[in-house]
Amino acid sequence: MNDALKATLAPSLKSWIESANDPASDFPIQNLPFGIFSNAVNTQPRAGVAIGEWIVDLAVLEDARLIDAQDTFRAPRLNDFIALGREKWREVRIALSGLLAQGNATLRDNAALLQRALVPLSDATMHLPVEIPGYTDFYSSKEHATNVGSMFRDPKNALLPNWSELPVGYNGRASSVVVSGTDVRRPNGQIKLPDADRPVFSACRKLDIELETGFIVGRGNALGEPIPCEEAEAHIFGMVLLNDWSARDIQQWEYVPLGPFNSKGFATTISPWIVTIDALEPFRTATPVQEPQPLDYLRHKGDHAFDIDLQVTLRPEGTKQATTISRTNFKLMYWSMAQQLAHHTVGGCNTRVGDLMGSGTISGATPDSCGSLLESTWNGQRPLKLEEGGERAFLQDGDEIAITGWCQGEGYRVGFGECAGRILAARA
């Protein structure tokens, strides 16, 4: 990492945009996450970077020749920009950091430009940040896999033999990935009740969340050309929060032998801002010890976990106070993102710019750190108490779930914004 890039990460750095200097803001000058927005002025979605309570309209800055990204910022998705490559992402980051830093007058004192370049976050509609050619979901939390294995298989052999040898993953449905704020309709489907001979067609009765993060592929690989583990992080553009909504009763009936399908394909929500892998650099930390030591193709030296605090809240319809139903941290994940990508491609599978790779449900060791209601309520047996009264085994219509996540720095935090969705009643 060169000095100019390092300078964009300095904890002491401040912006002339005052709201960015609030220690509670998700979007300080150290963050600079990328997203796609529209508003009353720009009804066509286009690229922006979040800072404090504002969005920087990147196409406006490029028109003013303050940054250069080969005219990719007017596209309604970031793929074309991302495809320009890591040197370009970094060049734009460094330029933006300079323009927004305290003491830099170029943009700050150009009133006409400023008026066009800064858009209030509160006025903007956010869109999916990328077109997603492929969505893969992993299963990389040891605590989550152990909980699920204990519940549905054998508590004494909760982890299947392959789990500690490779980052288990499966192909998800890319078409149904939606951006935070999109309502989620409870799915109908086949469910098999314990005493029945045959399944019934029903609205899902065990609707659940899965607290995850996801990473966005920034540089693909050709078919037949695996990505080595040591090089894998250079293929990642950045990270988002992800809620892999799950219909547990549909899942339990359908998933053998080929895996989850309709139980996951009705919606997957991601947060709108992609926090770049560069912005996460100061929060790099050690991955858990892996025992047995993985096969060679899954080995990498150094620190490949990231210290990201995560929190999930549930707010029933008509109430004001949300209940925090989970607090955990991304650094607990057994398999790193680099290992996931190395494994995904080791047989020759190609990836493409914009591919989304979900971490798998992120669970800690205690019920209040579980990433799904399935785990925290132990398949509904121990409902959670809600702040304004009542309880929840699984989600009810009108419930709003919000995932938040942030890296805590000294005096600032690099946040992800929100990954939220509200449950609508099933189709009649």
Please choose, from the candidates 238, 242, 239, the residue with its C-alpha nearest in 3D space to the C-alpha of residue 176.
242
Joined tokens for residue 248: 């547990």
CA pair distance 311, 328, nearest whole angstrom: 6
Catalytic residue among 127, 144, 304, 343: 144
Report, in Å, the least distance between residue 405 CB and a second copy: 24
Please choose, from the candidates 314, 232, 240, the residue with its C-alpha nearest in 3D space to the C-alpha of residue 272.
240
Report, in Å, the least distance between residue 122 CB and a second copy: 26
Residue 375 in marked binding region: no
Residue 255 in marked binding region: yes
Residue 287 in marked binding region: no
CA pair distance 406, 275, nearest whole angstrom: 10
Peptide bond just before 292 cis, omega within 30 deg: yes
CB burial of residue 8 (10 Å; 0-12, 13-18, 19+):
buried
Report, in Å, the least distance between residue 355 CB and a second copy: 8
Handedness of CA 345, 351, 354, 356 (dihedral sign): negative
Residue with smaller CB distance to a second copy, 87 or 296: 296
Report, in Å, the least distance between residue 104 CB and a second copy: 42
Report, in Å, the least distance between residue 309 CB and a second copy: 27
Which residue pairs from 362-365 have beta carbons closer than 8 angstroms and sit at least 24 positions apart in sequence? 362/141, 362/144, 362/211, 362/212, 362/213, 362/310, 362/328, 362/329, 362/330, 362/332, 362/333, 363/141, 363/143, 363/144, 363/147, 363/211, 363/328, 363/332, 364/143, 364/327, 364/328, 364/329, 364/332, 365/143
- Please report where in the chains the tokens 């106070």 appear, as a residue: 321
**Does 235 participate in catalysis according to the annotation?**
no
Residue 252 in marked binding region: no
Residue with smaller CB distance to a second copy, 340 or 404: 340
Residue with smaller CB distance to a second copy, 159 or 384: 159
Residues that bind a second copy (CB under 8 A): 133-134, 139, 160-162, 165-166, 168-176, 178, 185, 187-190, 192, 198-201, 204, 223-224, 226, 247, 250, 253-263, 265-267, 292, 295-297, 343-344, 346-352, 355, 427
Residue 251 in marked binding region: yes
Residue 137 in marked binding region: yes
Residue with smaller CB distance to a second copy, 84 or 346: 346
End-to-end Cα distance, the chain: 56
Distance of CA 137 to the CA centre of its chain: 11
Residue with smaller CB distance to a second copy, 32 or 168: 168
Residue 212 in marked binding region: yes
Known binding residues for Mg(2+): 244, 264, 268
Which active-site residues does the annotation give? 144
Known binding residues for substrate: 139, 153, 251, 255, 361
